[in-house]
Amino acid sequence: MHVQHRHIIYIQGYDPRGLAQYYRMFRTELRKFGRLYQLSATVSRPQVASDGEIASWNIETTAADWQTRTDYDFLRFEDFIQKDLAAPIWRTVFHAVWIYWRLVFSGTIARFAKANWRFATFITYPHIVLLLEALCAAGIAFVFETGLDALGIPKLFSIAAATAVFIALVGTTLKYTENSTYALYLLSDTIWTWEFSHRQRPEWDERIDRFAQHLIKVARESDADEIVIVGHSSGSFLGTELLARALKLDPALGRHGPRVVLLTLGSNYPIVGFHKVSRQFRDHLRQLAVEPSIDWIDCQARKDVMNFYQFDPIASHGITLGAEQRNPTIVPVRFRDLVKPEHYTKFRWKFFRMHFQFVMANEQPNTYDFFMIVCGRVPLSERMALPAAALTVAAAREWAGNQLETARPGRADDTLRGQMEPSALRRG
């Protein structure tokens, strides 16, 4: 029950910032974690693989009566994402608008709204921004054309000039308001998820296949007590794909030695799984739902608009398994309980900041704590089976350790069960 060595495999979502900024955030948050629990946590410098696709570092954590070592692999996609964001603005806009209306007429947006209205609103948001900016630009272009007409300029020329002004204004406005609206980023995200769902991004699939081989190698060669695959945001379905493909290559993956756990945070499975063409992805969900050698834990937060809260990744995709289903364990997270009230008030409406709270340090001890999952002594499955006891282990309470010894993995205790909404309780 005491983890001495853990291996984390972290899959980034659709985030162009990549390794440098993520590592700086990780190092800063690790220091906060150490101060909160009065323990020592040191991190090494990142070592990047020769192909540049994986960066790795080590964390040494020492408390009064326990010590752990964590190997941390950061799986990189930022080169693909930065290339997407470098596309011409007009191409991004036309492509994203075309995809959005296909989602509307196919009924997919309505299915998003039924699953979680906040997410449906969020995915519509950049199109609202685009519409408002286009209306403002159209108004200015109309005034410009009217002025040219008043000067006696030929109509054909004034219309062409007004059109050019409209296009220039829309492009300029989108570009220079991006840091506050994130509209172009979100439009690019829409394009990527559509193309990934329709298997139109072979470079992503090829890299995921290589990452699956990496996972197999780690499982065979590592002496870790557990391997935790962490997928945050879009990394949730990328991590699911990675693990499912690794299991197809090596069905005994979870039986080599280290326990293998999939941890999905702020997941958004429907943006891939709700497309009719995503049969293979839904098959992968079905595979992980019944796989006895794998534990899958999905953490959801109501306050995160980029997350499908109270969403069952299996049943909501029309997958019925009955008593055979053993995954996932669905865990609700209250961000309000993780940070100090004055800080929560400051960023509660900053949606990207809220979304990243899943992978940031707590300011208050809580049953959900990302860095305790990464660095703590309690295995992840047991932590989620008896979260209150696992929290107390951080304070070295002997009785809590004894409770964990007798815990039945895969069952939430009464404390956690009482915090859950009825539809968010674990199935099976």
Classified as helix, coil or strand, 152 is coil
pLDDT at 96: 96
CA torsion sign, 182 to 100 to 12 to 303? Answer: positive
* Spatial separation of the C-alpha atoms in residues 383 and 390, rounded to whole Å: 5
- Residues 6 or more apart whose CB falls under 8 angstroms from that of 109 comprise 100, 103, 120, 123, 124
* Spatial separation of the C-alpha atoms in residues 263 and 233, rounded to whole Å: 11
* Spatial separation of the C-alpha atoms in residues 136 and 354, rounded to whole Å: 30
* Spatial separation of the C-alpha atoms in residues 320 and 308, rounded to whole Å: 20
Strands 259-265 and 40-43, how do they pair?
Answer: unpaired
- Residues 6 or more apart whose CB falls under 8 angstroms from that of 361 comprise 29, 30, 32, 33, 36, 369, 370, 371
Residues 350, 339: contact at Cβ < 8 Å?
Answer: no
* Spatial separation of the C-alpha atoms in residues 308 and 300, rounded to whole Å: 7
Residues 267, 313: contact at Cβ < 8 Å?
Answer: yes
* Of 320, 271, 324, nearest in space to 108 by CA: 271
DSSP codes of every residue in 7-41? EEEEE--S-TTHHHHHHHHHHHHHHHHHHHHT-EE
pLDDT at 386: 80
pLDDT at 256: 80
pLDDT at 352: 87
Single pTM value for the model: 0.88
Task: Kindly list the averaged pLDDT for each block of 10 residues, start to end, along the chain of length 428.
Answer: 92 91 96 93 95 96 92 96 94 96 93 90 94 94 90 88 93 92 94 95 96 96 95 95 96 89 95 94 95 95 90 92 91 92 85 91 92 93 82 55 50 42 36
Residues 58, 37: contact at Cβ < 8 Å?
Answer: no
The residue written with tokens 């059109």 in the block is: 163
Classified as helix, coil or strand, 80 is helix
pLDDT at 422: 35
Residue 1: exposure state from Cβ atoms within 10 A (0-12, 13-18, ≥19): middle
pLDDT at 297: 96
Residues 11, 242: contact at Cβ < 8 Å?
Answer: yes
- Helix then strand count (H, E) for the chain reads 19, 9
* Of 292, 297, 308, nearest in space to 239 by CA: 297
Report whether the peptide linkage leading into residue 328 is cis, meaning its omega lies within 30 degrees of zero.
yes
Strands 226-232 and 294-300, how do they pair?
Answer: unpaired
* Of 250, 317, 257, 231, nearest in space to 281 by CA: 317
pLDDT at 267: 93
* Of 122, 114, 279, nearest in space to 190 by CA: 122
Q: CB 159: neighbour CB atoms within 10 A?
A: 15
Amino acid letter, residue 227: I
